Amino acid sequence: MSRGKRNGIRFCVALLCLVALLVTIAPLAAAATAPYTVQAGDTLWKLANRYGTTVSELKVLNGLKSDYLFVGQKLSIPTAEAGLTTYYVQPGDTLYKLSLRFGTSVSELQRVNGLSSSALQVGQRLLIPASGSGTHTVQRGESLYLIAQRYGISISDLKQANNLTSDVIYAGQRLVIPGPSSAPAANIKLYRVASGDTLSEIARWFSTTANAIYATNRLHTTRLMPGQPLYIPVGSSTPVSVAGPRGSQKPGYGELLPWQDARWVFNPEARATIVDMYTGKSFQVFHLGGSNHADVEPVSTSDTNIMKSVFGQWSWAKRPVWVMIDGRKLAASLAGMPHDVEFIGNNGVAGHFDLYFLNSRSHNDNSLNQEHQQNVLRAAGQA
């Protein structure tokens, strides 16, 4: 092969690589960005979680070749513009499917994202324009709560618009999305607490106040647990009324709510009434905290005595129970062995007890305990 031909091939390959790179980053150019100065303890993963983006997008946007950051480093953070929400392309997505799901049009999606074609890549960041009345096609894993939150409407309005008598929906179902009945919904972001986070830091990151976060999430303490879910009223110091996550519930049984959501309802230092499923006996508990499951203590000596009568004696035996809090009845499993740290010193027992919800795990080895999980399903009427 002559030198001229080899040089021509190299040029074509380089040109194709450049075109591919431009196609990949084109959607990012259309997105709004905000400046950010790296603080001590920041990582790309923490920043991606905090601002609803991905590590790879942060690296592309800022020309980073590694995950290394240094204090004082200037970064550009992708942010959604007013009236727009962020969505990451999933396998099987097309602009047509997304237009149906979010009640918009293909041309509008192309316009706000600067797209010249309908081609999408998995993981690509898109800006989704807010809509008034429209339709939404239910996707696998979605609930009325998630759909209502996405469109800034209430579950009751969503049910009324679709003549629904229950919260049960199925993948592929077409729902009518009513327009907001009053002022546009506040910009709410679901944030998962990272180790070391404080309310004041989180408030600063999202241009709100610690008091607004505290009230919005009905917290009982400023002490936060890693993984704890918080709804953040972004850019506002006014607390927002949030319905919170909801699980499925059979008549007469407890609501089947995963631990990652149940901990929003039963957050640290909250009190709840535990009802033993088999005996009907009840007693009050205090939630110390816990990242993988809830660590609880009986509130008083009387509560301790009732709890002990349920178990017969202190042991690692596990029982299906219902957690009654704020008018809700959550399916759970309680172990009967007091151990380790305690918060209440005059309740007639030393230590705390383990309370498991769906998908709760052990603190020691992060494992799922099948007996606890079966109890949770029994309490939900599903085993």
In a structure prediction context, what are the per-residue pLDDT tens digits for the chain, which is 383 residues long? 555 555 555 555 455 444 444 333 333 334 456 677 888 878 887 777 666 667 877 888 888 998 899 988 888 876 555 455 666 677 777 888 777 666 677 877 887 777 888 888 876 777 776 554 456 777 777 788 777 766 667 787 788 777 788 888 887 787 777 654 333 345 788 888 888 899 999 999 888 999 999 999 999 999 999 889 999 988 888 888 887 888 888 889 999 999 988 999 999 999 999 999 999 999 999 999 998 999 999 999 999 999 999 999 999 999 999 999 988 999 999 999 999 998 998 999 999 999 999 999 998 888 889 999 999 999 999 88
Residue 152 belongs to some domain of the structure:
yes
- Give the Cα separation of 96 and 88 in Å (integer): 15
Residue 144 belongs to some domain of the structure:
yes
* Whether 88 and 199 share a structural domain: no
Residue 340 belongs to some domain of the structure:
yes
Residue 8 belongs to some domain of the structure:
no
pTM strictly above 0.85: no
* Whether 44 and 97 share a structural domain: no
Identify the pLDDT of residue 7: 53
User: Residue 243 — φ and ψ, nearest 5°?
Assistant: -70, -30
* Whether 210 and 318 share a structural domain: no
* Whether 129 and 33 share a structural domain: no
Domain holding 297, by residue range, is 259-379
How many other C-beta atoms lie within 10 A of the C-beta of residue 104? 18
- Give the Cα separation of 44 and 362 in Å (integer): 28
Identify the pLDDT of residue 30: 41
Q: Are 383 and 374 in contact (CB under 8 A)?
A: yes
* Whether 192 and 108 share a structural domain: no
Identify the pLDDT of residue 158: 80
How many Cα neighbours within 13 Å face the side chain of 256?
16
Q: Taking the chain, what is the end-to-end CA distance rounded to the nearest angstrom? A: 72
Residue 9 belongs to some domain of the structure:
no
Task: List the structure tokens of 7.
Answer: 């040089």
Question: CATH number for the domain including 323?
Answer: 2.30.110
* Whether 65 and 100 share a structural domain: no
3-state secondary structure of 321: strand
Point out which residues pair with 175 in neighbouring strands.
136
Task: List the structure tokens of 227.
Answer: 């993984």
Residue 3 belongs to some domain of the structure:
no
* Whether 75 and 143 share a structural domain: no
Q: Are 285 and 240 in contact (CB under 8 A)?
A: no
Residue type, 334: L
- Give the Cα separation of 316 and 369 in Å (integer): 12
Q: Dmax over Cα atoms in the chain, in whole Å? A: 93
Residue 131 belongs to some domain of the structure:
yes
- Give the Cα separation of 24 and 209 in Å (integer): 37
Domain count, the chain: 4
- Give the Cα separation of 298 and 33 in Å (integer): 49
* Whether 61 and 132 share a structural domain: no
* Whether 142 and 217 share a structural domain: no
Question: CATH number for the domain including 64?
Answer: 3.10.350.10
Q: Are 93 and 114 in contact (CB under 8 A)?
A: no
Last residue of a domain, one of 135, 152, 177: 177
Residue 238 belongs to some domain of the structure:
no
List the one residue out of 76, 226, 206, 231 whose CA is nearest residue 145: 231
* Whether 213 and 320 share a structural domain: no
* Whether 75 and 90 share a structural domain: no
* Whether 155 and 213 share a structural domain: no
- Give the Cα separation of 192 and 170 in Å (integer): 27
Residues 6+ apart with CB under 8 A from 194: 46, 49, 226
